[in-house]
């Protein structure tokens, strides 16, 4: 599957009435093409992540903040309401498209984001979207809450259906002192245990990468690490998506941020399997192809 990033915006209210000018025009046409043409052609499911909410939910560059390193999303009701509107718009637009899997309701909230308002946003978005679609809706905690018991009892079935919980499980930030043996031990131990111990909504790893500060000069060792890393993540029911599919210039050298290159080099392999993806029993066929 593909986890596609999307930034929603308008030109009224909130932190600034000029926030929308930060975005390149025409992005929706590419999202249409991805979901309605490319994904259908290659039998790929698309999970759309709201990466850049109005006002910025984390102040990081990938959320397009109006002021770098500052977040205003939860400080203005207009920002939250706009993000709900964006989620509803996307769910309505793609509800009948076979390749559309669902929405990541907010990517990596943090900084000054108010947690009570964040949780209420997830509930309000769920209720709004459910008037149109039963698509997957994934909620995400703060990065420092990505382990049990945070959110384990939030939005449980049967009152909430087709809700996933999303983590981003990089073994890079916070693991800078680990050598090859150390980081492999984290994958086999800490990460595996965190995934297995989760008891809440079905768990989805929306981002991860083989990039670490460990060198892995021997590709056989990197391949072994990849196998251990994926084995840990596969304990999450709803699977994972890699950051990212490709990187400019990945035809040469080695870049562990490029899934395409990792597949081509044989560092990683992904087997075809069918997986139940919703509490309604829908199946998706995740097929390996030659890239």
Question: What would the mean pLDDT of 15-25 be, rounded to a whole number?
Answer: 62
Q: How many CB atoms lie within 10 A of CB 244?
A: 15
Q: Which residue has the tokens 């384990």?
A: 152
pLDDT for the residue numbered 284 = 47
Looking at the predicted structure, is the pLDDT value of residue 198 above 80?
yes
Give residue-wise pLDDT tens across range 88-146: 999 999 999 999 999 999 999 998 999 999 999 999 999 999 999 999 999 999 999 99
What pTM, to 2 d.p., does this model score? Answer: 0.88
- In the numeric block, the tokens 């907010």 are attached to 106
- Does residue 212 register a pLDDT over 60? yes
- Over 90: is that where the pLDDT of 274 sits? no
Residues 6+ apart with CB under 8 A from 82: 8, 9, 10, 13, 14, 53, 54
Cα R_g (the chain), whole angstroms = 19
Are the CB atoms for 94 and 134 separated by under 8 Å? no
Closest CA to 113 of 176, 158, 161, 65: 65
Residue 199 CB neighbours (<10 A): 10
Q: What pLDDT, on a 0 to 100 scale, did the predictor assign at position 270?
A: 87
pLDDT band for position 17 (50/70/90)?
Answer: low
Contact between residue 75 and residue 67 where contact means Cβ atoms under 8 Å apart? no
pLDDT in tens, 26-70: 889 999 999 999 999 999 999 999 998 988 787 677 777 777 778
- What is residue 167's predicted lDDT score, i.e. its pLDDT? 98
- Burial-class residue 137 by CB neighbours within 10 Å (0-12, 13-18, 19+): buried
Please write down the HEC assignment for all residues of 13-57: CCCCCCHHHHCCCCHHHHHHHHHHHHHHHCCCCEEEEEEECCCCC
In angstroms, the CA 57 to CA 63 distance is 7
Classify residue 240 by its DSSP letter.
B
Give mean pLDDT, residues 186-207: 98
Confidence bin at 282 (pLDDT 50/70/90): very low
Tokens of 281: 């029993």
């Amino acid at each position: 599957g593909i986890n596609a990033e999307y930034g929603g915006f308008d030109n009224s209210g909130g932190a600034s009435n000029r926030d929308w000018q930060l975005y390149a025009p025409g992005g929706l046409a590419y999202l249409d093409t991805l979901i309605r043409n490319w994904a259908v052609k290659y039998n790929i499911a698309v999970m759309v992540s709201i990466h850049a909410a109005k006002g910025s939910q984390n102040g990081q560059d990938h959320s397009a903040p109006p002021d770098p390193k500052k977040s205003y999303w939860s400080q203005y009701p207009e920002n939250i309401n706009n993000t709900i509107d964006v989620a509803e718009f996307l769910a309505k637009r793609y509800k009948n498209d076979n390749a559309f899997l669902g929405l990541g309701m907010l990517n990596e909230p943090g900084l000054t984001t108010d947690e009570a308002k964040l949780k209420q946003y997830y509930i309000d978005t769920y209720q709004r979207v459910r008037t149109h679609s039963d698509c997957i809706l994934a909620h995400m905690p703060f990065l420092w809450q990505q382990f049990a018991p945070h959110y384990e009892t939030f939005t449980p079935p049967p009152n909430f259906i087709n809700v996933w919980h999303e983590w981003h499980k990089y073994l890079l930030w916070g693991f800078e002192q680990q050598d090859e043996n150390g980081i492999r031990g984290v994958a086999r131990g800490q990460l595996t245990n965190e995934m297995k111990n989760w008891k809440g909504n079905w768990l989805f790893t929306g981002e991860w990468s083989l990039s670490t500060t460990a060198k892995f000069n021997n590709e056989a060792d990197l391949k072994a690490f990849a196998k251990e890393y994926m084995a840990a993540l596969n304990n999450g029911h709803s699977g994972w998506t890699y950051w990212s599919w490709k990187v400019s210039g990945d035809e040469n050298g080695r870049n562990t941020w490029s899934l395409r290159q990792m597949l081509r080099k044989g560092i990683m392999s992904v087997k075809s399997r069918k997986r139940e993806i919703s509490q309604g029993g829908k199946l998706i066929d995740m097929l390996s192809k030659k890239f």
